[in-house]
Copies of this chain bind each other. A is one copy, B any other.
Amino acid sequence: MTLDEARNRFIQSWGTLATQWGINRTMAQIHALLMISPEPIDTDAIMETLQISRGNANMNLRDLLDWGLIYKQLKLGERREFFYAEKDVWKIARQVAKERRRREITPVIEVLEELKVIDTDSPEAREFQKVITDISKVVGFADNTLNAVIKAEENWLMSQFLKVFR
């Protein structure tokens, strides 16, 4: 397998994985491409490599910037913007955990808290409350896990974590 083949293979796989996690394929592919690019690259290079339109490239680049997964680089005497990916994969994991927590987990926790305060007159209501409370625990666990990842500045903390389960 040549280097180029390997690169394409990786970009494709990463894109496929992403769609299963509710992230759009192109965004993941651009991210993959930038992760394996030694040098920052510009919009046209991305368009050409991935065979996508300018608008599409731009939109997804903007999203990746929002997520803090890639950065712009300005070259002296160049008008174009070049992009490069965060290369520290632990930082990527933290960034993603942080965003997903904010966008997804936090709102659900809020709804669950609201639902806990219904009147528990009937047995049915009590049953409902029990289910909600149980779910809260699992969501809380997920939330704690994400927080742990977010706050894990050091790798050793991660390895500590892994030890617990071995």
**A residues within 8 Å of B by Cβ?**
1-3, 6-7, 9-10, 13, 17, 19-22, 35-36, 38, 87, 89-90, 92-93, 103-104, 107-108, 111, 114-115, 117-118, 122, 124-125, 127-128, 131-132, 134-135, 137-138, 141, 144-145, 147-148, 151, 157-158, 160-162, 164-165
Contact = CB atoms under 8 A, between A and B. Distances in A.
A2 to B, nearest CB: 8
B162 A3 contact: no
A87 B118 CA distance: 20
A125 B160 CA distance: 32
Nearest to A18: B22
Q: Determine the main DSSP class of A at the interface with B.
A: helix
